[in-house]
Structure 1
Amino acid sequence: MSRKGIACISISVSCLLLVALLAGGALLVRPAAAQQSFAGQTLVITDWGGPWGESLRRNVAAPFEKKYGVTVKFDVGKSYENLAKVRAQRHNPQIDILFVDYGASQWAAQEGLTVPLSNYAASIPNLADVYPQAVAPGQAFVATRVSAQGIMYNEQKIKKPVDSWAALWDKDFEGHVGVTGIQWGTGKMVTTAAFLMGGNEKSPDLGFNKLKELRKIKIFESASQVAQLFQQGEVWIAPQLGPAAYALQKSGMPIRFVLPKEGAFGMFDNMSIVKGGKEQLAALFINFALDPAVQVEHAKDLTVGPTNRKAVLPPDLQQKVPAGEQIGRLYLQDDRYANSQLPAWTERWNREVVPMITK
């Protein structure tokens, strides 16, 4: 090869190296997510409202606003109502974080309404410390808190040990048993009954046949409604979420909460990044919600379990919430499947179970 050819190659290589260095320099000076200024921006998150929303505002949103100079707003509604909002806004997102139950989170991911958390791995380092059960496949979404649905009962009225869902069918309690309505937890009462027959949500016939054995039941659709029934002495025993049961206990009622031996339902509240929203800021908020110290305060406030394994709870709280190995023992209903069956289940519920209120 001639000297001229070698010189041209050398110059070309030098130019390429210079371009690469300049490009690298440009990348080096580009601010990382934590260094970017989000001041003045507004982040919108869906939520259930009530005590749950108040705790999220106090323990997560408020300190996050202070740290990043942003405003956090809540769009309140039930999980599937909020999912419907995100669907309707697909081409013009007004919501940045979808904070809903497991089933709604599954639907959102499947429909491409959210983006995987792995897209923003550098902005969510706390994800590495989350219990595997709290992270959806493909890092589609992550639970920031977990509670269990077990059995709540009045220990002044019920003296015998309660350790099974079968207690709801105990003849000694007939006339004072409360059951969750068909819309509560996407038909979890059907699954509860199926448990006792060796089934689950995929075997609803077993559940409905067992439910038809109940007599003189009280059907409720909200935590506040069942609380009132307990306070009035009409209901002595019923399925309930741990946080709601302990709230009644704190009010002075003789309430005991247990996790049935057949399995308690795991209730994971999940955060997803809405596609096309303020994705980067949403990722930072999720990371903040997963911070161990933040999770401890949130857990103490609501009596819920943290999902970050580094969150160390006070000893008394450890006895009340699912944490550590307990999380792996919770039953996670396939809410996406249950929701697809809900219209048929509702019709059957009204025909076969509702009459048991008076029989």
Structure 2
Amino acid sequence: MTKKLLNRRTFIASSAGATLAMPFLSRTAFSQSAYAGKDYLVTLPDTTNEKLVIEHVAPLMKERFGVNLKTQSSASGKTLSTMRVQRRNPPALVATLDMSYALQAHEEGLIDDVTEELVPNLADVRPQARIQDGKIVSFIISIDTLVYNKNRWSTPITSYADIFAPDMIATSAIASPSTQNGLEFIAGAAAVATGKPISEAMYNLEAGIEYLGQFRDKIGVVFGRAQEVMPMLASGEINSCFVKARFLAEWLALDAPVGAVIPKEGAFYSLNCLVPVKGTNATEVAMGYIDIMLSPEIQALFPSAIGSAAVNTKAVADVPEKLKTIVPSVEDIEKLSLLPILDQAKMESLNTLFNHVVGK
């Protein structure tokens, strides 16, 4: 029997104070009998995303499947390690992984493919948010770029070269190549060194590290995780750093003097992929969760809630004025680059070179 999928995807309220529901998420006897009352865990990149899912997605999962959706913030590396160790009894129904980790999980056979047949909203997702021939999908698109403290700059940043000026270098935080943001930052340095746009310079990261080497004795801050430097940026202890621009959202809400800029050499976009974990025996629930996360109604919440762009082209988001510099527009997304995936040997080589040339 062919299952009919309704195309109308709008929220309705069944009665005052009642749980919101989507027509395309109608209950089925099978879903209710098979999954009702069960707890299912999904991992997310941070507590802000957790809050949104708990408030807006969990009720819809309860409506459709009768399940209790549980959430957990977890870094991609830790999540992937857990998936490997507990392969036969995976704790998470759907995991959120950065692109490189999602591709690795796919290669190791730890996740199922996402298809339009099982996830109808996938048909409306921007091509930039789909990778591995469309089998993996991201639920947000973020800008990875330079962010800065406005009180430390008399004129706006226009180039990566600006942060290496003699009067700025000591308080410009340098991202190490141990993270994706660090590699992207080094691509920015390579763009300055070679005079090429970042879309070309990202294939010569060694040039960026060698360029940074000339500032070895002047660099004051080298960081690995954004959480280490965001308070320093907000207070003005550092003048700039390279992170996901969406990390500014909570500081902008506090009226911190921070902003983001896309330098003339270019910047990057990054993905947070929703991957259905293989072996959960609840594929319908997993795909249903991903479909809800990709729906126009839920997608419209992400720009104002976390400062990232929606991936569903039909989502209509009301972006607050404060966040317009950190939420990428359609035009921004078209101009941004996606860092190529580097193998382990390349990563180790770059980190060794960085420690030798830049490290103290």
TM-score by length of 2: 0.82
Aligned to 1:190: 186
Q: 1:327 aligns with which of 329, 333, 338?
A: 333
Moved more, 98-107 or 181-190: 181-190
Equivalent pair of 1:147/1:322 in contact (CA under 8 Å): yes
Is the 8 Å Cα contact of residues 25 and 64 (structure 2) preserved in structure 1? no
Given candidates 227, 248, 264, the residue that maps to 1:261 is 264
Q: Which residue of 1 aligns with 2:206?
A: 205
Aligned to 1:100: 97
Deviation at 1:183, TM superposition (A): 2.4
Amino acid at match of 2:239: W
1:50 corresponds to 2:47: yes
**How big is each residue's C-alpha offset from its partner over 1:270-316, in whole Å with a ceiling of 9 and x where there is no partner?**
11122222221110000000011111123211111100011112253
Count of residues in correspondence between the two structures: 326
User: Deviation of residue 332 (structure 1)?
Assistant: 1.0
Alignment of 1:220-299 (within 5 A): 220-277=223-280, 278-299=282-303
Q: Which SS does the other structure have where 1:235 is aligned?
A: coil
Are 2:41 and 2:69, in contact at CA under 8 Å, matched by a contact in 1?
yes
The aligned counterpart of 1:303 is: 307
Residue of structure 1 in register with 2:123 after alignment: 128
% of aligned pairs identical?
A: 23
Question: 2:151–2:236: 8 Å Cα contact kept in structure 1?
Answer: no
Partner of 2:76: 79
Which segments of structure 1 move beyond 4 Å, counting only runs of 4 or more? 28-34
* CA-CA distance at 1:263 after TM superposition: 1.8
Distance 1:200 1:66, change over 3 A: farther
Kindly report the root-mean-square deviation, in angstroms, between the aligned alpha carbons of the 2 structures: 2.5
Quote the offset at 1:340 in angstroms: 4.5
Question: What is the CA distance between 1:153 and its match in structure 2?
Answer: 1.4
Query: What is the 5 A alignment of 1:210-221?
Result: 210-214=211-215, 215-221=218-224
TM-score by length of 1: 0.82
Unaligned runs of 5+ in 2: 6-23
In structure 2, the residue matched to 1:347 is: 352
Corresponding residue to 1:39 among 36, 50, 75: 36
The one-letter code sitting in structure 1 at the alignment partner of 2:241 is: A
Moved more, 243-252 or 268-277: 243-252
Aligned counterparts of 1:246 and 1:60: Cα–Cα separation in 2: 21
Residue 22 (structure 1) aligns with: none
Residues 1:172 and 2:178 are matched in the alignment: no
Q: Residue 217 of structure 1: CA displacement?
A: 2.8
- Distance in 2 between residues matched to 1:54 and 1:45, nearest whole Å: 12
Using the alignment, how far apart are the partners of 1:64 and 1:158 within structure 2? 47
Alpha-carbon distance in structure 2 between the residues aligned to 1:104 and 1:112: 12
